[in-house]
Amino acid sequence: MSSNKKIDNRLNKLFDTIKQTEEDTEEARDVAAPVKPAPVKPAPAKPASAKPASAKSTPTKPAPAKPNISEKPGAMIHPPMVTRALSPSMLEPRQKTITIQPGSAESSESLVTVPFQSGENWSMIELDADRRWNEDEQSLVQQVADQLGLALNNARLFEETRKAAQQMAAVAEIATRISTILELQTLIETAVQLTQRRFGLYHAHLFMKLDDNHTFSVKACGWDEQETHGKAMEAHHINIDVDAPVSIVARAARTKTAVISNDVHADPGWLPNPSLPNIQSEMAIPVISAEEVLGVLNVHSSEINHFTDADLAIMTTLSAQVGSAIQNAVLFDETQRYANEMSLLNTVVTDAASTLDLNKSLTGIIGQIAKALSLSNVDIRLLDSKGLVNIAAELHPGENKTGPLSSTAPLEPLLENPMKSGKHLTVRNVPEAELPPTIKRITDAYHTQTVTFIPLVAQDKAFGYASLHMSQVGRELNSDEMRLATTILTQVSIVVQNAQLFEQTRARARREQLLREITAHVRGSTNPDAIMRTAVRDIGQAFGVKSFIRIGNAADLGNPPVEYSSDSAPASTEGPNPKSNGSSPHQPEKVEGEI
């Protein structure tokens, strides 16, 4: 890597600097101080068998001088140097930091060992040379070791600083990009893909918490471009239960703290993923907003011991930014949904108030429900005074117009409990479900896969229900859709009550008008017979029935009435009855109105 090259360059420059410093020092010594001849030491006494001092001896060829680190030849020859990394446990506290291991008495070889520290790690320099090391040379080696440790530490700090700066820049870039995205799925996909690319990861994906608050599901993936598993992984949905005993993701979600495994194959709590065969290290960071875990950011590396504490701090910061962006997107979506719901409710109320026709109002309401929730059909059925079900409005499959009304039928036992409790009932896999024949015939006609029955309640009493039909396999209303449908259907009770009040008011107005008309007709005559005939006629016309008045005492009313047609009836009831000739008892008379 480039960092290793930088360290090598620093070391080479360090040794060159040290060598140049030593040369300048020795040159300064040569100039400042004259060279003094070495004192002549008397020769040691020789044994009697040795040659006399004055005798000439054949000069022996001196042994070639070995390189000396303190000498100043034209080309400096360094003794072999070896560096080794040490663990802190191998280094015990000691006074001397340099160790010399002399060779045998006949040899001048020795080994110099100098430990030095770089950060929290210890290393060691070993110099092996066929020579003796004086104090100046040992001091020089010690200085080299100190400078080497300092250079390595500086290089390490520089690399860490550079990496941290790059990672912070990546976090800033990702946060800036996702802060402008308000569509949730696009946001999390952008965040995960940028995380994988900017941090050079093997893989990254984001688990999001589902509506059950217990399951986390993969919603976005970021793959290494050299890998070929992306499409297969995206097509495969992974769900993890928050209480799963073997899962780094579940552990992070439960504890709300990041989890690192730098050797996953040695971690018993790691859950393998067949789609990611090259994972060596993994980190799971919970995405939290307002103390709530929204999801888990899961990142992977193909290197062992890849993630550090610094990586953990950076990823925690990134997950906080992602959590804030997700929360903003969710709030924006909720605001938009609320605005749409209010607009829909306003449309429903306006349409319902524009007409007093109950069927027309209900048809408009169920049309809005079907459009808002993408339903194949909706119908509304109301209970009459006898407890029978009458269909009030329905839609043809795929059409927004009133369909044929079904005949009156008793309430099915399947719906008795929902009608009493006021809670909705959902039937899944309708083609295979056992349903009453009347309901089965309707669901077959609508090609229903799922049907939801929602009771219509007014003053804590159910007066009907709505059937919401879904033709898509596996389709089911979620909590938000159910809330919207219930809110809209609340308007049904208002519409029905308004229609009933209107009918009652109109009927009362008809009765009062009829009473005024009959009273006016009756008061317009002084002839009793004409008064009775007028009353009978007006009442019969008002109610569309045959009406008559019977006159007589209790005994007379016990006999069958004598009926007169309008032509043969007497013109007046004053005086004796013409039929009786004044001799027979008075018979009850039936005065029939002209219809």
Higher pLDDT: 112 or 310? It is 310
Residue 102 clears pLDDT 70, i.e. is over it: no
Higher pLDDT: 158 or 561? It is 158
CA distance 505 to 160: 85
- Identity (one letter) of the amino acid at 495? V
Burial class (CB in 10 A: 0-12, 13-18, 19+), 448: buried
CATH 1.10.3720.10 holds for 355-500: no
Contacts of 168 (CB under 8 A, 6+ apart): 314
CA distance 213 to 294: 9
Fold of 180-333: Beta-Lactamase (3.30.450)
Higher pLDDT: 106 or 296? It is 296
Residue 341 clears pLDDT 80, i.e. is over it: yes
Residue 213 clears pLDDT 50, i.e. is over it: yes
Residue 152 clears pLDDT 60, i.e. is over it: yes
Residue 556 clears pLDDT 50, i.e. is over it: yes
- Specify the pLDDT at position 106: 55
Structure tokens at 25: 């020092």
- Specify the pLDDT at position 532: 79
State how far the alpha carbon of 586 is from the alpha carbons of 322, 570, 571, 594, in Å: 102, 15, 18, 24
- Specify the pLDDT at position 88: 44
Q: Which strands sit side by side in the sheet containing 109-118, from one edge to the other?
A: 81-86, 121-130, 109-118, 99-102
Structure tokens at 546: 């045959």
Residue 281 clears pLDDT 50, i.e. is over it: yes
Contacts of 481 (CB under 8 A, 6+ apart): 373
CA distance 586 to 124: 145
Radius of gyration of the chain (CA): 52
**Highest-confidence segment of 9-18, 122-131, 320-329, 540-549:** 320-329
State how far the alpha carbon of 232 is from the alpha carbons of 275, 276, 534, in Å: 8, 11, 90
- Specify the pLDDT at position 587: 43
- Identity (one letter) of the amino acid at 116? F
pTM metric for this prediction = 0.56
Q: Which CATH architecture has domain 1-26+76-166?
A: 2-Layer Sandwich (3.30)
Evaluate whether 233 touches 329 at the Cβ level (below 8 Å). no
Other CB atoms within a 10 A radius of the CB of residue 473 amount to 9
> Where are the chain's structural domains?
1-26+76-166, 180-333, 355-500, 525-592
- Specify the pLDDT at position 340: 85
Average pLDDT over residues 506-517: 82
Q: pLDDT class for 520, splitting at 50, 70, 90?
A: confident
Residue 362 clears pLDDT 80, i.e. is over it: yes
- Specify the pLDDT at position 39: 44
C-alpha 184 chain-centroid distance: 8
Query: For 382-437, how does the pLDDT look when each residue is reduced to its tens digit (9 = 90+)?
Result: 888 787 888 778 776 444 344 444 567 788 889 889 888 889 999 999 999 989 88
CA distance between the termini of the chain: 112
Residue 273 clears pLDDT 90, i.e. is over it: no
- Specify the pLDDT at position 294: 94
- Specify the pLDDT at position 233: 52
Other CB atoms within a 10 A radius of the CB of residue 537 amount to 18
Structure tokens at 249: 């993701």
CA distance 528 to 97: 142
Q: pLDDT class for 55, splitting at 50, 70, 90?
A: very low
- Specify the pLDDT at position 225: 62
Reference 249, options 278, 221, 276, 269; nearest CA is 269
**Helix (H/G/I), strand (E/B), else coil: 132:** coil
β-pair partners for 220: 206
DSSP type of residue 368:
H
Pairing of strands 215-223, 203-209: antiparallel
